[in-house]
């Protein structure tokens, strides 16, 4: 077998067999496949597509191109993946909550992508927190604490790492098949017994339209289940920031307020409980989604999830007293400026992508690969859809490094909000569910 024959088969619509996928993934991880051939393969997949079997084959082959973890633990190994949004700190609540319910969570997460925030960037706002660990240390922490939120090692899905970079420069990023295989190969390499997916839809999502979001959710669920991992997906709302804050340290602060009960964000809590209920049902810990959500509610309310989170932070290099002293431990910006509402009325629409881009321009994300992130900047107190505003009342607070950057952010946020006289309906938090039982 050779690269040309694999590419030609996909190009001509003859599909991708498991044997061809395995050979090509090994070639990507090694040196048998050139950059030009990898780009040609990605373009062939983009233009001709793969059927369900081909998608499963590619996902499994990229998963198996590196180390696939196995576990010997007294409970199920679970994880969650989000397609990315603004003000979404669910992972910080969900991982310890699942662990407190008896699951084990090796959550391999990523950094910010475009206007969307990254879980690793948020956690690294905690002084001393180190997300880069080897497999042996990951095993120890997950076994001892119950969860660890870390970055992927170079030993995990190396074929995907190579193909991802080539897709970016060859115009093949938008392929549903390649997106699916990329997401799942890394997740399934963690040796999961169950996976729940949070697919965002709305103005702040990578896929803002419902049809595209549902298509991705269905592709992910069918492929993951076809690869042997029980998986379901929720399509959740991103027509506005999920939290009232957007920005790394500010989102950690909001997550900690919710974990400790000092100032609960109900939307953040409810999405966490819904996703956790799905995961616990998939693992057999809960009888159904509602039972699972109640279990998540209980460990959040009791403080057990907060205690697990604190142990995880300490195990990964952060302060041992972080849960007790998180307001003092997180960095703060020197400039905080309100964004005055230009008129009385109701929040009718929010360009949530613009909010995320404002955070990036403040220094809370990367304009170019390798940019350093300022963890303290961002937005807090974000007004929500259907909220009544008085003239001059803050739509948000801007946390910035200096007055000039704050002024630019204020202008961007004013442009992102539409205020009308009539009160609109509040958008639902969860739009749809795609479960394994719905797949053909």
What is the C-alpha to C-alpha distance for residues 440 and 437, in angstroms, rounded to an integer?
8
Catalytic residue among 186, 214, 353, 431: 186
- Give the integer Cα–Cα distance in Å for 243 and 359: 14
Q: Judge whether 186 counts as a catalytic residue.
A: yes
Our answer to whether residue 187 is catalytic in this structure is yes
Q: Pairing state of beta strands 345-350 and 417-420?
A: antiparallel
- Contact between residue 294 and residue 304 where contact means Cβ atoms under 8 Å apart: no
Query: From the candidates 65, 83, 91, 119, which is the catalytic residue?
Result: 119
**CA distances from residue 364 to 38, 120, 287, 375, 398 in whole angstroms, order as listed:** 33, 13, 41, 6, 12
CA-nearest of 92, 109, 114, 91 to 356 is 114
- Among residues 63, 81, 399, 431, the one annotated as catalytic is 81
Catalytic residue among 63, 161, 162, 167: 167
93: tokens are: 């609540």
What is the separation of C-alpha 250 from the centre of its chain, rounded to a whole number of angstroms?
17
Residues 6+ apart with CB under 8 A from 156: 66, 67, 108, 186, 189, 190
Which one of the listed residues 122, 161, 162, 187 is annotated catalytic? 187
One-character DSSP codes across 8-68: HHHHTT----HHHHHHHHHHHHSSSS-HHHHHHHHHHHHHH---HHHHHHHHHHHHTTS--
Cβ neighbours of residue 235 closer than 8 Å, sequence gap 6 or more: 199, 200, 201, 210, 213, 214, 217, 430, 431, 432, 433, 434
Q: What distance lies between CA 388 and its chain's CA centroid?
A: 30
119 in active site: yes
Q: Which of 89, 182, 239, 380 is catalytic?
A: 182
Q: Which of these is catalytic: 63, 80, 200, 329?
A: 80
Residue 182 designated active-site: yes
Catalytic residue among 55, 65, 79, 83: 79
Q: In the annotation, is 167 catalytic?
A: yes
In 3D, which of 264, 267, 293 has the Cα closest to residue 280? 293
Helix (H) or strand (E) holding 92: helix 90-100
The tokens describing 119, both together, are: 């879980």
Largest alpha-carbon pair distance within the chain? 69
Q: Break the chain down into helix, strand, coil percent, rounded to 5.
A: 50, 15, 35
DSSP string, 403-432: HHHHHHHHHHHHHHEEEESSPPPPPPSEEE
User: Which of 65, 82, 131, 245 is the catalytic position?
Assistant: 82
Question: Which residue is listed with tokens 């795609």?
Answer: 434
Specify whether 82 is catalytic.
yes
Q: Which residues participate in catalysis according to the annotation?
A: 79-82, 119, 167, 182, 186-187
């Amino acid at each position: 077998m050779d690269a040309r024959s694999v590419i030609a088969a996909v190009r001509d619509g003859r599909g991708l067999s498991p044997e061809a996928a395995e050979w090509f993934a090994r070639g990507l991880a090694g040196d048998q496949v050139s950059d030009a051939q990898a780009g040609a393969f990605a373009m062939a997949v983009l233009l001709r597509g793969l059927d369900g079997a081909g998608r499963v084959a590619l996902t499994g082959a990229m998963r198996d191109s590196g180390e696939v973890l196995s576990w010997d633990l007294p409970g199920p190994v679970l994880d969650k993946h989000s397609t990315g949004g603004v003000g979404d700190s669910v992972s910080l609540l969900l991982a310890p909550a699942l662990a407190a319910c008896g699951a084990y969570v090796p959550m391999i997460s990523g950094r910010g992508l475009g206007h969307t925030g990254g879980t690793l960037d948020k956690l690294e706002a905690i002084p001393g927190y180190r997300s880069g660990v080897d497999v042996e240390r990951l095993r120890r922490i997950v076994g001892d604490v119950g969860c660890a939120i870390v970055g992927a090692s170079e030993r995990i899905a190396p074929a995907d790492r190579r193909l991802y970079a080539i897709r970016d420069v060859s115009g093949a990023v938008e392929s549903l098949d390649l997106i699916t295989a990329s997401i799942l190969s890394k997740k399934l390499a963690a040796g999961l017994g169950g996976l729940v997916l949070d697919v965002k839809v709305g103005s702040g999502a990578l896929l803002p339209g419902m049809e595209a979001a549902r298509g991705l959710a269905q592709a992910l669920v069918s492929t993951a289940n076809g690869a042997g991992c029980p998986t379901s997906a929720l399509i959740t709302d991103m027509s506005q920031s999920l939290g009232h804050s957007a920005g790394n340290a500010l989102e950690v602060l909001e997550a900690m307020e919710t974990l400790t009960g000092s100032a609960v964000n109900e939307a953040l809590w409810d999405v966490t409980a819904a996703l956790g209920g799905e995961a616990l049902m998939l693992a057999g810990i809960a009888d159904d989604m509602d039972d699972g959500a109640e279990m998540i509610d209980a460990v959040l309310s009791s403080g057990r999830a907060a205690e697990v989170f604190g142990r995880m932070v300490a195990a990964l290099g952060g302060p041992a007293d972080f849960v007790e002293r998180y307001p003092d431990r997180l960095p703060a910006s020197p400039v905080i400026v309100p964004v005055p509402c230009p008129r009385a009325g109701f929040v009718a629409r929010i360009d949530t992508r613009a909010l995320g881009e404002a955070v990036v321009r403040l220094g809370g994300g990367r304009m170019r690969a390798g940019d350093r992130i300022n963890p303290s900047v961002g937005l807090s107190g974000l007004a929500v859809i259907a909220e009544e505003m008085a003239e001059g009342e803050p739509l948000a607070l801007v946390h910035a490094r200096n007055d000039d950057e704050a002024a630019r952010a204020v202008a961007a946020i004013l442009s992102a909000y539409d205020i009308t006289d009539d009160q609109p309906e509040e958008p639902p938090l969860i739009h749809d569910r795609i479960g394994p039982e719905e797949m053909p």
